[in-house]
């Protein structure tokens, strides 16, 4: 499942204007159809542009493995670092996505994450 959301402003619009019941129904439908997958929305924290912001990932995927997937999807160059946040907290790279989901999922059934980065060899 992939949708285009270009800047994090749209994340807030999604939460504000998209009906909660509709999001809950969508998350429930996804979890019923794919019980071994975690539905979540990831959005950019300004430095990058996210073209595919809704994902379904295996529940047994670690945060570190997920970061690798995101790096490849956004075609991030080797000299740039990426950081994934859940509720403004950097989750442990060894944590399972299923554990992160259960601890931090929104009331609508989705897990919301942000990502940002920095240049590892100096300023942008």
Entry pTM = 0.71
Residue with tokens 């009331």: 107
The yes/no answer on whether domain 9-119 falls in CATH 3.30.70.260 is no
List, for residues 64-123, the tens digit of each pLDDT value: 999 988 888 878 887 888 888 999 899 999 999 999 999 999 988 999 888 887 655 554
Give domain limits for the chain: 9-119
Rounded CA separation 85/92 (Å):
10
List, for residues 30-51, the tens digit of each pLDDT value: 999 999 998 888 877 654 455 4
């Amino acid at each position: 499942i992939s949708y285009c959301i270009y800047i994090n402003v749209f994340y807030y619009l999604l939460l504000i204007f998209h009906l909660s019941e509709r999001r809950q129904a969508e998350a429930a439908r996804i979890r019923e159809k794919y019980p071994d997958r975690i539905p979540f929305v990831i959005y950019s924290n300004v430095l990058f542009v996210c073209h595919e912001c809704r994902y379904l990932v295996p529940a047994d995927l670690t945060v570190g493995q997920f970061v690798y997937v995101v790096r490849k999807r956004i075609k991030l160059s080797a000299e740039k670092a990426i950081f994934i946040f859940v509720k403004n907290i950097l989750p442990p790279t060894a944590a399972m996505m299923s554990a992160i989901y259960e601890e931090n999922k929104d009331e609508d059934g989705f897990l919301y994450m942000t990502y940002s980065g920095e240049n590892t060899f100096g300023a942008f």
